Structure 1
Amino acid sequence: MATIYDVAKEAAYSISTVSKVLNNSTNVSSRARKKVLEAIETLDYVPNSSARTLATKKSNMIGVVFSENLGVGMAHPFFGPVIEGFRKFVDMHNYDLLFVSRSIKGEESYTNQLIRRGVDGIVVFSTDSDQSDLKIYRELGIPCVFIDMEVNDFNSVYSDNYHGALMAVDHLVALGHQKIAHIHGESTGFIGVERMRGFNDAISAHGLNTPEEYIMNGGYYSADGGRMAMMKLLRLSEPPTAVFVSGDQMAIGAIQAIKEYGLSVPEDISVVGFDDIEIAKYMEPALTTIAQDKEKIGQQAGLLAIESILNPNCLPVKKTIPVRLIKRETTRQVKK
């Protein structure tokens, strides 16, 4: 079966141009339109979409792509509530969702699936720093919204990661801690960079001196990554009295490491996480953390997706969602 890539090759035009012709866009030259239509006829290419889509050029469907390094997709405790908030919002506006995997195997790519099904827009859930796919999304010519990743020429929605880190450090300093370490997420990713920037600025604002060995890379926000990073901190000749961990799952691993080392949380070391995943309040001890409004992130992404579908020429919007400090049981006043 011919794909849009075959049509683009046959017509000697880009995928973006083919997509515009298929969507009946006016921003295509008559020569390009003629060549693309001829290629479509030659290859007998027909997008596998509903009759309504072919007639109206609208499918009332939004594609959902997961682009994250752990490969857990909706099973991730952060993404689940976000996608549910997104689903509820777009469902009220009569849009369906099409879930595709960026790592799909076989002849047909995930982008071709999106085009073949005639999606009106795309939402990308991203935790990684690889922006190589941005060129592909630009060529598709379909409105896109990125979640958890700042993208200059697309709509994007993310938490106020920077101020969340400031809150975490301020809380620990207010408790009397001065030896504060940071276990950060992937240091080239947007959220990891923003949370580390907030940590560094807060440490500087309080006049503290954080040794280089107090900064540990926990990798891609897994419990194992947090555990291994915390073990390294505990082996230092002068370990910290508190640690800000850039993700709740990493914080869970860090607390496990502290317990394995024969120490207690928060009696020996205070821990602050980031995310406020569901299990955080049920842990023993319950996790002090920076809460993201996951449902609101999903709702705002849905709003931007629909607005950009209805008005494709609107300028990209970056939406920052406020966060808040949730004080629980993993932090306490420093011992004198």
Structure 2
Amino acid sequence: MDDTDSVAEPDDSRRPVGHDGPPVGEPTGRPLRSATLSDVAREAGVSLATASRSLNGSNRTVREEYRQRVLAAARRLNYSANHSAQAVARGSSQTVALVVSDIADPYFSSIASGVMRSAEDEGLVVTMSITERRPEREAELVRALRGMRPRSLILVGSRRSDPRLTDELQAELSAYEQAGGRVTVIAQPTMPFRTVAVRNTEAAAELAEQLIGLGYRSMAVLGGPEHLLTARDRVTGFVRRCAERGIEIPDRKIVHGEFTRDGGFVAAAELHRRELADTELVFAVNDVMAVGAMAYFRTAGLHLGREIAIAGFDDIETLRDVSPALTTVALPLQRIGQLAVSLALSDNPADLVVPVDGSVIIRESTPRRG
């Protein structure tokens, strides 16, 4: 029987071949065996192929009438697909493995939201793993995920300047692709995989340009971890554009710290200890650091926006609760997640690297001077 044959089989067809007991799914007083896909097909009166396409997804379209019959039969029989067996048979599962640095960080949670929404539209399930900002965990997680045979693996997080860690991670990702998977990275295009790359240097330079246009001349930078390429690119773009406009930012006014709220608080305190008397504006290379810096400056008795201006980068959603409203570089974070899924599922992408631009948003934390 195929998709064009709508003749239903008799009720006895609910008894699997060689099964003399009650139909699958009916009470017997003893544990029932799990229903199989063949049971569902017989219950719905369709072919095994049609049942599979209806339940497991397929490029071939199933008539809605048959699909609904299959779904109803699956519910009656309490059928649950054996995804492990399907992954072995296909060489991959219907899952997307997402690896992020820190899900508590709004930057990563917003990207994860975009990945999940886009994957759901494609009928895929997302599993998520967290490195807790420990670089060695990336290769370990990829190694473990390879055994789960995800259809695609999306890695989110800045690349690092450590060649040993990079080589180890690249080897694991390459092994996963050689087994039939597909890697997409949201980071700098430093590895030979599909990549969604934020233009951090260019966006930080544009932020500096607009702040100079507002009259700022004496600036400092909270630079994030020195080994993170994202932090390094943002510092480079900002400092270089200032230099091009005749404004030097000395090394003593560049303070590195963790890419977290507490990291921003501590870095701002260190900047204050070094030299803050003539500083008009502080640029934090991400918004969570900027929020931490704002908290420190308040405890130090400084009036934000008037005595010290501050700017960030990313435009995370939680900024709506920050006062004064923070000047920042807005990134389409959910859209970045969606782009990663699209790139991962494309059989013939036009480009292996998809660039993403940021846009400067001037708010109350950086009022015009003079």
Normalised by the size of structure 2, how large is the TM-score? 0.69
2:124 — aligned with what? 95
Shifted more, 181-190 versus 244-253: the winner is 181-190
Q: How does 1:79-90 map to 2 (within 5 A)?
A: 79-90=108-119
SS in structure 2 at match of 1:75: coil
Structure 1 residue 145 displacement after superposition: 0.8
| 1:272 and 2:311 correspond | yes
How far off its partner does 1:316 sit? 7.0
**Matching of residues 45-194 of structure 1 within 5 Å:** 49-66=83-100, 68=101, 73-102=102-131, 110-127=141-158, 129=160, 130-131=165-166, 132-140=168-176, 141=178, 142-194=181-233
- Match for residue 272 of structure 2? 234
Residues 224 and 317 (structure 1), Cα distance of their counterparts in 2 relative to 1, 3 Å cut? same
Q: Give CA deviations for 1:104-157 in whole Å, capped at 9, x if unaligned.
A: 9xxxx6345423322122111123514232221112223211113333301111
> How many residues align structurally?
274
Code of the aligned partner of 2:169:
D
Residues 176-214 of structure 1: CA distance to partner in whole angstroms, max 9, x if unpaired? 111011111212212112101101221112111222211
**Mapped partners of 1:60, 1:53: distance in 2:** 8
1:256 aligns with 2:295: yes
Q: Provide the rounded CA distance (Å) in 2 between the counterparts of 1:240 and 1:120.
A: 51
Distance, in Å, in 1 between the alignment partners of 2:98 and 2:128 is 5
Does the 8 A contact of 1:153 with 1:316 survive in 2? no
Could you tell me which runs of 5 or more consecutive residues in structure 2 were left unpaired when the two chains were aligned: 1-81, 135-139
Cα distance between partner residues in 2 of 1:99 and 1:253:
27
CA distance in 2, matches of 1:115, 1:278: 33
Q: SS of 1:63's equivalent?
A: strand
Q: 1:290 aligns with which of 319, 323, 329?
A: 329
1:23-46 deviation digits (Å, cap 9, x = unpaired) = xxxxxxxxxxxxxxxxxxxxxxxx
Q: Which residue of the partner structure matches residue 300 of structure 1?
A: 339
Partner amino acid for 1:294? L
**Which has the greater radius of gyration?**
2
Cα separation, 1, equivalents of 2:88 and 2:175: 21
Superposed CA offset, 1:52-78 (max 9, x none): 333333422221122x3xxxx322101
Q: CA deviation at 1:315?
A: 8.8
Higher mean C-alpha displacement, 180-189 vs 93-102: 93-102
1:319 maps to which residue?
Answer: 354
What aligned pairs does 1:34-53 form with structure 2 within 5 A after superposition? 49-53=83-87
- Deviation digits for residues 278-307 of structure 1 (CA, Å, limit 9, x no counterpart): 121221111111111101111110111111
| Distance verdict in 2 for CA 1:303–1:257, change over 3 Å | same
Alignment correspondent of 2:364: 329
Contact in 2 for aligned 1:265/1:285 (Cα 8 Å): yes
Aligned 8 A contact 2:257 2:263 in 1: yes
CA shift digits 1:74-120 (9 cap, x unpaired): 2210111111111111222222222234589xxxx634542332212
| Contact 1:49/1:117 (8 A) holds in 2 | no
Do the aligned partners of 2:159 and 2:187 also contact (CA within 8 Å) in 1? no
* 1:231 partner amino acid: A
Q: Which moved more, 1:264-273 or 1:118-127?
A: 118-127
RMSD: 2.3
Q: Distance in 2 between matches of 1:298 and 1:184?
A: 25
d(CA) in 2 for partners of 1:210, 1:112: 43
SS at match of 2:246: coil
Equivalent position SS for 2:184: strand
Contact 1:168 1:325 in 2 (8 A): yes
Q: Distance in 1 between matches of 2:326 and 2:129?
A: 34
Tell me which of 186, 210, 215 is aligned to 2:254: 215
Structure 1: give runs of 5+ residues left out of the alignment.
1-47
Distance 1:201 1:304 in 2: 32
Q: Kindly provide the amino acid, as one letter, of the partner of residue 215 in structure 1.
A: I
Matched residue type, 2:85? A
**Identical counterparts, % of pairs:** 24
Q: CA deviation at 1:168?
A: 1.9
Structure 1 segments, 4+ long, off by >4 Å, are 101-104
